[in-house]
Structures are given as C-alpha cells and as structure tokens.
Amino acid sequence: MGMNIGFHGYEPAFQSGQMMTSAGGSRHLTTTISEFTRLGHQVFWFGEGSNNTTKSANVSDVKLMDVIFLYWRWAMPEYLDRQKAYTRQMEIIKMTTASKTPVIVHDQDHKIDKKTKEFLIMMNVTLTEPSLFPRTGYSSLMYPSDRPLTSKYNPHSRFGLCYVGNNYERYDQTKRYLADARIAAIFYGNWLIKSDFRESPDQVKSDFPNVTFQGRLEADQVINCLRHATATIHLAKSSYNETGFITARWAEAASAACPAFVPKEFKFIDGYSNVGIVENASDVIRFLDVLDSLKDPNLGKSIVEWQRDFVNQYSKPDAWIEIAQKVQANQTVIGEDDDE
C-alpha cells in the first residue's frame, strides 16, 4: 500500500536547475520524488514552487502524512526567503508532536548545531546526512542520482581544471590545492560576489591569479562544463572531509566522464582505488600534466571508472525508500547521541 510522503526544502526546489547558483541544485530531490511516485506513493511538497510530480501541501496537512523529509534549513534572518523556509520547517516539526508523523531531517550542509540536534532528537526526529562515516546520532543517506554513466572518457579538446562550487568554508583548502600559477583553472560560483561572510573579490583575485572566474552557473549546465574540462576536484569544508561527505558533484563528474581529484584528507572507504588522490598543488599539477599530455592515456579513464563504480553503488534512491518504510513502521534508525 502506498504512503503519503511529504518533502520540504529550499533551493528554491524545482526551479533551481535553471537558477544561477553553482550550488548542487535540486536534481537529487526530483530523482527521489520520481522514485517514490514510480512505486505508487503519493508525494506532497510543503515548500515553495512545485511541479507536476507532487501535490502542494500546507503545514496543516502534516497529520495526513505517513513520513516527512525535511532538507534542513538553518536560521538566516538576513535572507527573508530562506528565513521563511526555516520558519515553515520548524512549524512542521512542532506539528508532528500532535500528529506523531515521523520526520526525517537531512542535514545536507552540516548546519545542525549541538543544541538544535538535542531538540530534534527530543522531538523523535531521525537525523541523516550524505556521508560515508556519519556523525554520531546520524544515519548515512546519500544523494540519489539518475544521471547516465555511459559517456566515454575523451581526453581530447579539454581546457584545464574546472571547479564548480561556491566559496563557503573551504577557502584555505582551495588555496592549498589550486593557488599555483602553473594550474590553469576556471571557477564557477560566487567567488567574486562581494559579501560580509567571505573573502573580498580583491583578496580572491590576489590569491588566485591563475584562475578565470566565470561567476555563477546554472545547475543544469554543470555537466556540460565538466565534460570539456581536463579534470575537476572535490573540495570540501573540514567536517565534510572528516565524515566522507559525498556531494552531488560526485555524480555530475562521473556522468560527465570528467576525472575528479580527491584531496588526501577526505575520509574514504578502504579498498577503493587511490588513483586521483592528491595531497597538494604539486600533485594536481603532476596529474594535469599527465592528463593533458596523454603520457598515460589510461589515467583519466581509470579515475572516471572507479568513481563511476562508487556512484553506481552509493547513489541510488533505494535507501530513501528503505528509511521511509522503517520510520513509518516505528523502527529506530537514529544513532547514539554524542558525549559532548
């Protein structure tokens, strides 16, 4: 028998594929919803915007749901639209106290602090994150992907290193790996957009004289850009590295057949190939030289193949179906609490 599945988040959701964000977009959301729908479940959208695969829902509809997924939003009073999403999210959580509707909160940015975590656990919320080694109290729930993994690796007509991502909490790592005059790189993202919350455009240009900054990129255009790049790199903030946090960029690079370097500090699974693991800018330069010169024609193909194997294994929507069924059946999926 099908379930009523609720979703809430901010991207703003279904429109983000056409928005100039350079963020991960919402394809993983539409992939998940499509799979629930295919299996005969009714899907309801509690956020703003919609498409023809969901039914619109209000906070008062919480009681009608069997399970609700919340893509975690944190308080951002300086951004009215995001704060609105945060407020609505918290209203949904509080409504579940009376309705006893199971809630799964997906912390896709590592923005839940200790106090908030304690509150959510008190509210019997199941906490998840897209990490190989989730933090205590969280379950692993990877971004699903339905992107084709069939494009052949073609080392010709590629223009250098391409990094798609915004300047959030990974500036020092970016400097360590990419701030070298010998690396020809193109960045897509908010790097030269002035903000009180990150480095100034002048500082960014000074630290990265080797980079061509192209501004934000539509999520739907990411794969096309990566398809023409010699390589990309999976940069990440510290907590992502510590937990093996897999962003949507992994599936995009695999689909584009773009070799993706992985920083050595990123915690990964034993047994997977170490081809493409980099420790510093010199490693990046060395790999790029081999890829560009075709000194080893199998290097790029090897990197693409092992990362495709990984994405194929870990980026399926099955886990989302399984966890929804477990919490709906009142099975505990929350890990132990911290000793902090």
**Which pLDDT value is given to residue 262?**
96
- In this structure, the answer to whether residues 94 and 177 fall within a common structural domain is no
- In this structure, the answer to whether residues 299 and 323 fall within a common structural domain is no
pLDDT digits 0-9 by tens, 115-166: 999 999 999 999 999 999 999 999 999 999 988 898 889 888 788 999 999 9
| Structure tokens that stand for 95 in this block | 């409504």
- Give the CATH number of the domain where residue 215 resides: 3.40.50.2000
| Structure tokens that stand for 47 in this block | 């956020």
**Which pLDDT value is given to residue 336?**
46
**Which pLDDT value is given to residue 82?**
87
What domain count does the chain have?
Answer: 2
In a domain, 103, yes or no: yes
Of residues 49 and 310, more confidence is placed in 310
Where in the sequence is the domain holding 296, given as residue range(s)?
Answer: 161-314
3-state SS, one letter per residue, for the chain: CCCEEEEECCCCHHHHHHCECCCCCCHHHHHHHHHHHHCCCEEEECCCCCCCCCEECCHHHHHHCCEEEEECCCCCCCCHHHHHHHHHHHHHHHHHHHHCCCEEEECCCCCCCHHHHHHHHHCCCEEEECECCCCCCCEECCCCCCCCCCCCCCCCCCCCEEEECCCCCCHHHHHHHHCCCCCCEEEECCCCCCCCCCCCHHHHHHHCCCEEECCCCEHHHHHHHHHCCCEEECCCCHHHHHHCECCCHHHHHHHCCCCEEEECCCCCCCCCCCCCEECCHHHHHHHHHHHHHCCCCCHHHHHHHHHHHHHHHHCCCHHHHHHHHHHHCCCCCCCCCCCC
Global pTM? Answer: 0.91
Task: Residue 32: count other Cβ atoms within 10 Å of its Cβ.
Answer: 24
pLDDT digits 0-9 by tens, 289-315: 999 888 888 999 999 999 999 999 999
In a domain, 128, yes or no: yes
- Give the CATH number of the domain where residue 132 resides: 3.40.50.720
Please report, rounded to a whole number, the percentage of residues in the chain having pLDDT higher than 90. 71
Please report, rounded to a whole number, the percentage of residues in the chain having pLDDT higher than 70. 91
- In this model, does residue 286 exceed pLDDT 80? yes
- In this model, does residue 74 exceed pLDDT 90? yes
